[in-house]
Structure 1
Amino acid sequence: MGDLNAFLSQNAIKVENRKYVASERFIGEDGKAIEWELKAIDSDRDRQLRKDSTIRVPVLNKKGKATGQYTSETDFNTYTLKLCVETVVFPDLHDAELQNSYGVMGAEELLTTMLTPGEYTDLSSEVGEVNGFDRTFEDKVEEAKN
């Protein structure tokens, strides 16, 4: 049996924030692209984001008619957007001045307005990595060996 102490909160290795250039279009005074800061969220917050991204969908019969029953589905586009907003620490997407400069209200609308579709797709991929969604079982085994 393994050492249970390794699982104690104070012994767990904390997930570090990650710097990431989301776009080459945002240039600092030094002429270089400004790095965004990303942080992992915890499972409780992730559960809440998934819940907030759940929609009711009518159940259809074989003829395509509504049966009066509903099922729940996660809208993954909404979930991904909420996860990105929650993970981005810098720039502060909730900053009113930044939102006003783009003529939008809300962090989600700001993020999709600030970035091109390709930049947003790259960011969402990076956000997935930061939150541990990219690691395969083989990756975890290899990491455990080291």
Structure 2
Amino acid sequence: MAWPAHRLAAAAVLVLGIYLQVVAWVDLYPWNDVRRSDGQETLDVLAAAATGVLTGALWVSRVWAPLLSAMALSMWAWLQAMTWWAPYFAGAPPGWQAVYGLWFENTVHVLPRDARHLPPDANHLTLHLLIVAALAASLLAAWRGLSPGQDAR
């Protein structure tokens, strides 16, 4: 028996959250570079709490939690697109080049690059794919939760 869409969304958000916590705290160099503080520790703890709350809400709610999840993941996807993909395609400004050189220069890369077109490293590329998967699952759950004949809670 297949899982209901809201539980599939819960699982997708949980996988995303676990991945984020692992790469934020565990040194997997050269996959990530957590050998020194990047100043995001508080944000990482808040993301862990948000993952737990959202996963639990998605597990039991067919309407409001998938909508909330889709909105939050859309904002996160937009932030990642502006941070990583816009500079990759349009060319990175000097400030991003400096940040990239400090934090991502020596991590694993799979996309082509040159001096100005700096791709997301493999760690962030994986994160982006997980964000898109969780967003798609949340949108599907929201659509099914709002469809007539579904058990909306």
Normalised TM-score (structure 1)? 0.30
More helix by share: 2
* Structure number with bigger Rg: 1
Which one has a larger percent strand, Structure 1 or Structure 2?
1
Greater relative contact order, per chain length (Cα 8 Å cut-off, separation 6+): 2
TM-score normalized with structure 2 length: 0.29
